[in-house]
Structure 1
Amino acid sequence: MDRLIEWLKKEGGLRVIDEPLDVELEIPHVAYLEVKKGEASRPLLFTRPVWRAKGIEYDMPVLMNLYANQELTRKILGRHPDEVAVGIEELMKLKPPKGLKAKLQMLPKLLKLKNVFPKRLKFKGECQEIVIPKEEVDLDALPILKTWPEDGGRFITMGQVYTRSLDGTMQNLGMYRLQQYDKKRLGMHWQIHKDASHFFDQYRDAGKKMPVTVCLGGDPLYIWCGQAPMPHGMFELLLYGFIRGKNAQLVKSLSNDIYIPRDVDIVIEGSVDPAAMEVEGPFGDHTGYYTLPEPFPVMEVQTVTMKKNPVFPATVVGKPPLEDKYMGWATERIFLPMLKPMAPDLIDYNMPENGVFHNLILAKMEVHYKGHAQQFMHAFWGVGQMSFVKHAVFVGKEAPELTEYEALTRHILDRLDPEKILITQGIVDQLDHSSPQTLVGGKLGIDATGPKVPRAIEEHLSDQLLLEKAQALAPEVRALKQYMTDTANPITVIAIEKKRSAKATIDALEPLSRYIAVLVVVDTINNDLENPYMLLWRVVNNIDAQRDIFLQPFIAIDGTNKNSLDGYVRLWPGDTHCDEAVLERLREKRIIDLDETLIRKWGLLPFDLYGDKGMD
């Protein structure tokens, strides 16, 4: 890891923080604010982590924000993700050569493939220089972080979780939340759809304990590979070999038959008893909400090994933008060729980070026949991790670039037709909180591939005049702002102090249909109508298409928090908010720069701009 630190100083502008900071909230809050600086964001090395609650001073530094920005992500990969994608596309198009000349031309490509497959070594790795036996294992000795005030405890955020199938024929690398229960036990938050969970089912059915090895550190590319959506049964470290052009070198775990990279910093080995489950959480997650407590498997730690002078890597999850923005960017670009075989007329796609990736996908396609976009919607919803996508918008090849969000939004609104909106049902991510039940919920598909549509409103009113008319019909409306008023379908966003269902408010506003094309309803609490980035985040998180989208008398979207007024019976989770005292302490120490504008821009603390009572 020393070489990585030096490389990050040279290539990534590594910021070294020598001030003693607490692993509970302080270190995560610093990283949370750093990554919101966009391309100016830098990786962070905390050299003196402490755990004040237990009086522990660590000699193991914490490294955060490895994927700090797009340029650093490109450097970690060694090239632009699009270049990696070209190589994958060429590989997928390989055909058996005909004739000697064709065979000779293919030989260099075939020789490169020998570097893809991980190589198993017969000796121990650097990660096993220090061995801590079971009786001496103490997870408190690791600077594991607690990120959010309401988290159920400390959890490992960048653990590379290595598992293998019962018959030993398949190995998997995933990245899951790992709650520390005590000195020797970790929670395994692998979701029901993941390969590790499928392996777990095999061991459970056989009545056997499941071996698990968790690694921390090493080449940053291992971390990216851990979250890559590889097809079922394919070992994620194949990607490492393909991208690096050299084999991942693996050594055998000391207490099981799982092979791991030789150069990781820390290794936690153990087993999971399928008969023993324990409540995990709550934890703030990448959705920007707390996930609710739920039973998950538990890992009993057998041994811990590490390098001499290891570094503890970690990340922070919560409201966007965060480090996963850049990891997701690389994933999106690299996996484009793998989507094209099932959607051959797909030109490009984009998953905005404020859509929390699985909540919104934008896709550009070449349209050849009526219903082509709807065909693509069903194809997306039926394959791999794309099946978790809740909202998909398709545009034609003449549309602006998918990352030109303002121009693209105008293009979509000029082609938005209620007749070309598909609402259906399907599988949703286990972290989704808005659907009436877990794992299954509404899906929204918008076909914006056609020609422009007629203007949907008869008359445009100013925000103030439209607000007055809305309040006369629905007194709970507290604020109103219109966007894209020059398009065929202007967007009207209202904030309500919710005393009845949002659907009742929408119905009450029906007389305003001549002025409103698309109505979006949010709560006054924690929403700023002047902040479209966070409004999109809020709405795509908060809606179930079957319950919350209405197509008459105008298109309406209920983006409010749901409760009994809406017939919602699950527990609605809260936002991830920073601890105000911790922010102030960090500001006083001059570790962070913070003002009221940044607090509101990123929703760092609770607020109510429009209600009768403020929350400041």
Structure 2
Amino acid sequence: MQDVVQWLKDNGNLKIIDEPLDVELEIPHVAYVEVKTDNSRPILFTNPVNKAKGITYEMPVLMNIFANKDLTEKIFGKHPDTVAEGIDELLKLKPPKGLKAKLAMLPKLFSLKNVFPKRLKFKGECQEIIIPKEEVDLDRLPILKTWEEDGGPFITMGQVYTKSLDGEMQNLGMYRLQQYDKKRLGMHWQIHKDASHFFDQYQKAGKKMPVTVAIGGDPLYIWCGQAPMPHGMFELLLYGFVRNKNAQLVKSITNDIYIPRDVDVVIEGFVDPEVMEIEGPFGDHTGYYTLKEPFPVMDVETITMKKHPVFQATVVGKPPLEDKYMGWATERIFLPMLKPMAPDLIDYNMPENGVFHNLILAKIKTLYKGHAQQIMHAFWGVGQMSFVKHAIFVGEDAPELEESKALAVHILNRLDKCKVLITQGIVDHLDHSSSEQFVGGKLGVDATGDEVENGVETLLSDEVLLEKIQEISSSVVGLKQYMTETKTPICVISVDKQESQLELIHKLKGFEKHIKLLVIVDHANNDLDDAYMLIWRVVNNIDAGRDIILKPFIAIDGTNKSEVDGYEREWPGDTFCTKEVLDRLQEKGLIDIDEAFIKKFGLLPF
């Protein structure tokens, strides 16, 4: 994949837009709309500009590289399940007995030599142009500002290479990088990540930390950067395993960090452990803004690049986005690595509208009472799985995990509040729903058993049930029931919230003959007919320890929280497109959307 653009023309139905478009909002909005379409394509913007700064950039912007499943599989060169099979074989490898077995193992062992990155002693294509410190100007790069309320432009597909203080470990991570000015970047490595752990080492030693950021090259590099590798393992080992060839690395010009020779742009620098600066806000992959917070700052020493570089970027916000397809590959490939700590795990699925870490579905071979709870705790105690907030487990008789409708029926017919586990644990740095940052509620649902005996005693129509509830509370605006054919119909109500919804749930005592599972959302910006986005909203908005009530029925408060809930942190806003930008792009014929599309994906407030 020496020429990614040409490869995408040949293999990915690349869309090319020659119209001059602004890196602030316009380019990101086009990419954001495109990736939500049924036939999403990668896009090359050949004429990026910055109207506010009066800049016309010399390099194009490439987005939506992981535009769909088919293209993602082509990038890997094989189905992710095939990669997983190879990993599974390695994990089960045993010392051979006898000459014949040893000879049979030789091809596998020989291929492993390609896993390890190879350090070259000469400069790479990424160093054809070297810009010295005194001439460094980040404004030469078409760095995007995605959302109107973003704190500034952000590099969104940066491969951030760091190393431990003793030089024994190297890490590749995918972290957003805010451009502060011509020579400084904010380093948003979250507190639980390896790069942040390395930073702690340098901070304690009082030494500046070298950092090299790469942009572009083989798209597999950026996938490796977000892969949940075990601590201490260099992510580019995965590259070698998937490609069956060594990642070829060259030394950075100003530090000892090695990066792939074929990336397009390289930004080298140092982080002073004594300097922190406010980073954000930023409309993140949760579909919410992450708030302002101090993070380390990278002082850029040099920028190097190819003679004809391409600037790779991604856009994050409300699902679905290209991280849907990157996450799909990750999910498939890492299944064998989960099985050693949960041997009876058959399969798992992390739906993109659960923002991955907010919801996991797992199928297990149930061998004894409490088995599902055992695996729940195993998940919550290992690596990046520890950030999962809500886990639903089904048995081996359940439908395939991606058969969402059939699976929902299966789960709701087995939902028993006696098998609902609510506990506490670590939550992701980006989680906004917990009352305390980094620690929050966890939900585990054991739906592995037989169907429950009783359903709703008296199932009312939506209209009648809404009328009865409105007699109790005038704050209730709308109501829709889902899955009424199951033992546990889902009753979703929308409210104009004035008080804690625990008060409303308490007032509904006596409605248990009509309701078994109640979900409450705000009336604003929620469409009761859009189950996909309702799931996104609820799993983002709840802390299980605070917002799930099991009496008189299971009730989930998915509303935005405030002081009426005893919530004292700042609650972030949704990522919304800018209407004027959408209108302008529509007039130019660069996007084709209607009101239904806008509402379906929550592009604008309603």
TM-score range, shorter chain: over 0.9
| Cα pair 1:345 1:366 within 8 Å, conserved | yes
1:10-49 matches, within 5 Å, as 10-38=10-38, 40-49=39-48
1:318-329 matches, within 5 Å, as 318-329=317-328
1:4-153 matches, within 5 Å, as 4-38=4-38, 40-153=39-152
| Cα pair 1:474 1:509 within 8 Å, conserved | no
Q: Deviation string for 1:277-331 (max 9, x for gaps)? A: 0000000000000000000000000000000010000000000000000000000
The residue number in structure 2 matching 1:439 is 438
Q: What is the Cα deviation at residue 508 of structure 1?
A: 1.4
The residue number in structure 1 matching 2:154 is 155
Q: What is the Cα deviation at residue 228 of structure 1?
A: 0.3
The 2-side partners of 1:107 and 1:472 are apart by 75
- Look up the SS of the partner of 2:373 in the other structure: helix
Q: What is the Cα deviation at residue 4 of structure 1?
A: 1.3
The residue number in structure 2 matching 1:513 is 512
The 2-side partners of 1:194 and 1:531 are apart by 34
| Cα pair 2:250 2:258 within 8 Å, conserved | yes
Q: Deviation string for 1:484-518 (max 9, x for gaps)? A: 01111100000000011111111112222110010
| Cα pair 2:129 2:306 within 8 Å, conserved | yes
Q: What is the Cα deviation at residue 29 of structure 1?
A: 0.3
Q: What is the Cα deviation at residue 536 of structure 1?
A: 0.1
The residue number in structure 2 matching 1:523 is 522
The residue number in structure 1 matching 2:334 is 335
The 1-side partners of 2:199 and 2:460 are apart by 59
1:449-460 matches, within 5 Å, as 449-460=448-459
1:4-403 matches, within 5 Å, as 4-38=4-38, 40-403=39-402
Q: Deviation string for 1:106-159 (max 9, x for gaps)? A: 000000000000000000000000000000000011000000000000000000
The 1-side partners of 2:58 and 2:137 are apart by 15
- Look up the SS of the partner of 2:340 in the other structure: helix
Among the aligned pairs, what percent are the same residue? 75
The residue number in structure 2 matching 1:611 is none
| Cα pair 1:279 1:295 within 8 Å, conserved | yes
The 2-side partners of 1:603 and 1:2 are apart by 38
| Cα pair 1:74 1:81 within 8 Å, conserved | yes
Normalised TM-score (structure 2): 1.00
Alpha-carbon distance change, 233 to 2 in structure 1, aligned in 2, over 3 angstroms = closer
- Look up the SS of the partner of 2:361 in the other structure: strand
Give aligned pairs, total.
606
- Look up the SS of the partner of 2:122 in the other structure: coil
| Cα pair 1:455 1:487 within 8 Å, conserved | no
- Look up the SS of the partner of 2:37 in the other structure: helix
Runs of 4+ in 1 over 2 A off after TM superposition: none
The 2-side partners of 1:512 and 1:347 are apart by 38
Q: Which amino acid aligns with 1:500?
A: E
The 2-side partners of 1:424 and 1:476 are apart by 30
The 2-side partners of 1:470 and 1:12 are apart by 52
The 2-side partners of 1:2 and 1:95 are apart by 37
Q: What is the Cα deviation at residue 2 of structure 1?
A: 7.1
The 1-side partners of 2:124 and 2:498 are apart by 62
| Cα pair 2:344 2:366 within 8 Å, conserved | yes
Q: What is the Cα deviation at residue 455 of structure 1?
A: 2.5
| Cα pair 1:401 1:408 within 8 Å, conserved | yes
1:405 equivalent to 2:404? Answer yes
- Look up the SS of the partner of 1:54 in the other structure: coil
The 2-side partners of 1:510 and 1:255 are apart by 67
The 2-side partners of 1:140 and 1:3 are apart by 25
The residue number in structure 1 matching 2:588 is 589
Q: Which amino acid aligns with 1:286?
A: H
Deviates more, 1:507-516 or 1:528-537: 507-516
Normalised TM-score (structure 1): 0.98
Q: What is the Cα deviation at residue 98 of structure 1?
A: 1.4
Q: Which amino acid aligns with 2:433?
A: S
Q: Which amino acid aligns with 1:400?
A: P
- Look up the SS of the partner of 2:479 in the other structure: strand
The 2-side partners of 1:480 and 1:4 are apart by 49
The 2-side partners of 1:259 and 1:578 are apart by 38
The 2-side partners of 1:58 and 1:252 are apart by 27
The residue number in structure 2 matching 1:489 is 488
Q: Deviation string for 1:49-93 (max 9, x for gaps)? A: 000001001121000000000000000000000000000000111
The 2-side partners of 1:500 and 1:246 are apart by 60
| Cα pair 1:119 1:247 within 8 Å, conserved | yes
Q: Which amino acid aligns with 2:10?
A: K
The 1-side partners of 2:363 and 2:433 are apart by 27
The 1-side partners of 2:539 and 2:63 are apart by 28
Cα RMSD after superposing both structures: 0.7
Q: Which amino acid aligns with 1:15?
A: K
- Look up the SS of the partner of 2:272 in the other structure: strand
| Cα pair 1:280 1:294 within 8 Å, conserved | yes
1:579 equivalent to 2:578? Answer yes
Q: Which amino acid aligns with 1:104?
A: L
Q: Which amino acid aligns with 2:420?
A: I
- Look up the SS of the partner of 2:49 in the other structure: strand
The residue number in structure 2 matching 1:430 is 429
The residue number in structure 2 matching 1:612 is none
The 2-side partners of 1:366 and 1:3 are apart by 46
The residue number in structure 2 matching 1:613 is none
| Cα pair 2:455 2:486 within 8 Å, conserved | no
Q: Which amino acid aligns with 1:601?
A: K
| Cα pair 2:434 2:440 within 8 Å, conserved | yes
| Cα pair 2:2 2:262 within 8 Å, conserved | no
- Look up the SS of the partner of 1:377 in the other structure: helix
Q: What is the Cα deviation at residue 456 of structure 1?
A: 3.5
Q: What is the Cα deviation at residue 594 of structure 1?
A: 1.3
The 1-side partners of 2:80 and 2:331 are apart by 9
Q: What is the Cα deviation at residue 604 of structure 1?
A: 0.4
Q: Which amino acid aligns with 1:30?
A: V
Q: Deviation string for 1:172-206 (max 9, x for gaps)? A: 00000100000000000000110101110111111
Q: What is the Cα deviation at residue 6 of structure 1?
A: 1.2
The 2-side partners of 1:3 and 1:257 are apart by 27
The 2-side partners of 1:6 and 1:185 are apart by 32
The 1-side partners of 2:399 and 2:502 are apart by 34
Deviates more, 1:399-408 or 1:498-507: 498-507
1:459-608 matches, within 5 Å, as 459-607=458-606
| Cα pair 1:230 1:236 within 8 Å, conserved | yes
Q: Deviation string for 1:442-475 (max 9, x for gaps)? A: 0000000000002232101100000000100111
Q: What is the Cα deviation at residue 3 of structure 1?
A: 2.0
Q: Which amino acid aligns with 1:603?
A: G
The residue number in structure 2 matching 1:610 is none
| Cα pair 1:587 1:593 within 8 Å, conserved | yes
| Cα pair 2:442 2:545 within 8 Å, conserved | yes
The 2-side partners of 1:257 and 1:112 are apart by 28
| Cα pair 2:423 2:442 within 8 Å, conserved | yes
The 1-side partners of 2:508 and 2:321 are apart by 37
- Look up the SS of the partner of 2:199 in the other structure: helix
Q: What is the Cα deviation at residue 97 of structure 1?
A: 1.0
The 2-side partners of 1:310 and 1:158 are apart by 15
